[in-house]
Amino acid sequence: MARSSADDMELKRQCEAAIDGSGGGKQKVVLCIRVAKSRAVWGKPAKLGRHMAKPRVLAISTKSKGQKTKAFLRVLKYSHGGVLEPAKIYKLKHLSKVEVMQSDASGCTFMLGFDNLRSQSVAPPQWTMRNKEDMNRVIYCILNLCKDVLGSLPKVVGMDIVEMALWAKEHTVVKSKQEVTPDGHGPVLLPDTVTEIESEGTIERDLVFQAEEEDMEALLGTYLLGFGDAEAFSERIKRELLALESANVHAILETESVVDEVLRGLEVATICMEDMDEWLAIFNVKLRHMREDIESIEYRNNKLEFQSENNKALVQELDNLLEHMQIPTEHESALTVGSFDEDNMSKNIEACEWLTSAIRDLELPNLDPSYAKMRAVREKRAEFILLRCTFVRRASEFLTQYFPTLIDNMINDQNNFSQKGQIKRPDHSELRYKCRVYARLLQHIKSLDKNCMGPLRISYCQSLNQLLRKEVSTFANELCGSIKVTRNSGIPLEGPLPIQMGSYADSKAVSEAYAKLINVFIPLLVDESSFFSHLMCFESSSESSDDAQSTSSGRTSSVSRTSGTASNAIEMAMLNDCLNNMLKGIQDDFFAIIDWAANTDVWCCITMYGITDRYLSGQKAENAAFVHILLGDLESRINSYFNVFVDDACFQVEKYEKTARTFGVLAYIPRFSQLAMRLEEYVHGNSRDLIDLSYTKIVSIMFVILEKIAQVEPKYADIMLLENYASFQNGLYDLANSIPTLAKFYHQASEAYEQACLRHINMVIYIHYEKLFQFARRTEELLISKMPPEEIPFQIGMSKGELRKVLKSTISNLDKTQSAMYKKLQKNLTVEELIPSLWDKCKKEFLEKYASFVKMVHRIYPSETVPSEIDMQKILASLEML
């Protein structure tokens, strides 16, 4: 079992140092132990993850001040540097309860309750020990200090104090240092260390007072039950039962006179009850007649009151009806001839609210059906409807002219747009402020007649579309004109390299121009879409993001998905149509800057793709559905340019199949590493997937073309493969460590390299040791044909003499053969750096084949002596030294 932290003297010294450093004075640390702190809600078990356990150290200390000794419970925590520092301090004299938590199945969690805490509604912390031994040790130490220093014990809940005494008797006894307190309470027990059991009486004295123990023994001694003989005890019980029954019968017989007296009293009471019943019957008849008279009077009275109340209610209802039917003079003038200037909007709004309420009150079910048939009500309702049509027509005509005029003024003011040498960010705050003035008016117009909202919405969208397109166009043109960069076509995989190849820093301004255009106008378009949907009172504007889809032509359009009700579906269709008109054609100006950037530096497509995808993933809610479609079109445009670049790179690789030589490293192998390093410079945001797809497409074509070119000359195929795969690995070693896609192709090239090396080395070995391994191959063929090993030496060409000749020719010319093998490896390799590693692989493969040859000889020719594998390895090493 692991050593308890309570025995850790170094921990004890750290606790003493932390207490001294905190200004607590010199204190004696009685016990310190590592615990886990957690907190739960009153009456509920702690939930994992909600209140995570924290490592703490509990230290029980004492302090002598003058003639008094005080006991403390200190909580220490670890700082960032791993140093203990004080966190909490509790005085044991306030300890009121020690509770072992039953919710912990391990039984190693307890809680200490103090009666001086400020907030009793907050559950005190829970302390979890490593095992029950540590928990018993801490609780036992606390109880001892409370008893010896304070003279009282706290309430113990969740554990048996007798079990605690038994545990202490079985496991530990406290060696103590006694200090006499000046207040006359006797020696103070200060636990120091825990050792083997020395005295059983010490533990019992700690938990049960001697006087209590004597009282218990005296009480138990008063009961002499005589359990010596079971049959005698049974007979004794029977005799006592019979005696008890006899006593009960005797008592019943003695109370006969009392029973007679009770019966006489009951008879008298019965006669009295019969007389009272007759009186009550008489009173009941009289009361019934009185009740009938009262009910008749109340019926006539209620009928009169009901008639009076109905008359009052009818008069009140007619007054209210007349009040609703009367048009106030100020409202009538506002609805018929009033102005729509900003100063008069409050009057117009009040008139709209009154008219809406008046029409609603004269309609079912707000109006009683009996009133609806009255001619005066019908005539007044027709008058209100005519007044509503007049006001709606006047307001619609005003707003249909007001919004386009307001936007045309902005279009005609050139200071609102980017100019030569000055890029201006669009500002629509003033436009929106002036439109918000009529927001409540638009709401009332829709509530009065929703059919008139269509022309208003279309007029607003068409005018705003012209403003947005001009802002995007001037902004994009000025961005392109302010940037001067040279055209960069990238790193070709075929043909001569350009004299001067650009870098990411050279074309960074192009990507930044696109990013600036997106950062300025995408939030603007989102805000305008949201502002329009709220201004024009669309009910289902929050659902528009999920109901718009892109058509194959690339125009912004949408298909409304069926929503909860038919009215919402109609609203969604109208909103989609309006947003389509507002953003129609704006994608052309974005396409223009994409075309310019791609023609200037095709590598910028990677950065632009990442920028677009970042916005695309964040614009899928609220009223940004059409902006999401626009971003999707931009991403498709960028992707098409980059795909052309990737397809061109693949085409350049495919051209090697007809023009490349069949030896040496192909030019596109090292150039691809330069291409990959350049591509990684442009990775931005979520463009990682785009780059990985291009890697997959290009490298797959590279490997296929390499295999085809190598098969043109089968004699040199393996040499060409191993040189090119080695060059591929050398070029991509650093990138493969950080890019999973390139790492996959790196491992694929590594496997192909090893296979090509193995084939080439085996060919070289079989050429120079043909006799040796041909003899071994014939032997294997005979074994495969199930010929017994002892019969093989008697076959033609397989005798022991033939074996000796083969070994003699091999070993005698070993130096020349090894030299010829080395020259053979050097002969056709164009990459000299590969020769040392290939030569090591060649020697290793030869020794493995020779080892299998030696095993075969020992099996079939046991009497023949051949050099072992170790001997052959030493011979080869000696030849290397020469």
Residues 677 and 735 sit within 8 Å (Cβ to Cβ): yes
pLDDT at site 747:
93
Q: Alpha helix locations (H) across 172-255? A: 200-207, 210-221, 230-254
pLDDT at site 589:
86
Residues 838 and 825 sit within 8 Å (Cβ to Cβ): yes
Give CA torsion, residues 481, 483, 485, 491, to 10 deg: -100
Residues 143 and 98 sit within 8 Å (Cβ to Cβ): yes
Q: 10 Å Cβ neighbour count for 696?
A: 15
Q: Which long-range contacts (CB under 8 A, 24 or more apart) does 828-832 make?
A: 828/663, 828/716, 828/719, 829/719, 829/723, 830/663, 830/664, 830/665, 830/723, 831/665, 831/723, 831/726, 831/727
Whose CA is closest to 462, among 403, 534, 421? 403
How far is residue 188's CA from residue 639's CA, in Å, rounded to a whole number?
Answer: 84
pLDDT at site 743:
92
C-alpha distances (whole Å) from 61 to each of 64, 79, 153, 192, 629 are 10, 21, 17, 11, 71
How far is residue 614's CA from residue 624's CA, in Å, rounded to a whole number?
Answer: 14
Q: How far is CA 764 from the centre of its chain?
A: 58
**The pTM is what?**
0.54
pLDDT at site 296:
87
How big is the CA angle at 633 (ends 594 and 574), to the nearest 5 degrees?
135
**End-to-end CA gap in the chain:** 63
pLDDT at site 752:
92
Token digits of residue 584: 């129609």
Give CA torsion, residues 305, 306, 308, 313, to 10 deg: 140
Phi/psi of residue 571, each to 5°? -60, -40
Residues 710 and 717 sit within 8 Å (Cβ to Cβ): yes
pLDDT at site 221:
55
Whose CA is closest to 857, among 796, 787, 802? 802
Phi/psi of residue 146, each to 5°? -65, -40
Rounded to a whole number of angstroms, the CA Rg of the chain reads 52
- Helices 200-207 and 161-171 cross at an angle (nearest 10°) of 160
Strands 68-78 and 187-195, by their bridges, are: unpaired
Cis link prior to 670 (omega < 30° from 0)? Answer: no
pLDDT mean by block of 10 residues, the chain; 882 residues: 73 86 77 84 46 82 81 86 84 87 85 76 80 87 85 84 78 48 41 37 45 60 55 80 78 72 85 87 88 88 89 80 72 79 82 82 76 79 84 87 88 74 79 89 86 87 90 85 68 55 66 88 88 82 40 37 58 82 86 87 85 77 70 90 88 81 82 86 80 91 89 85 90 89 92 90 83 81 82 79 80 80 80 84 85 84 80 75 48
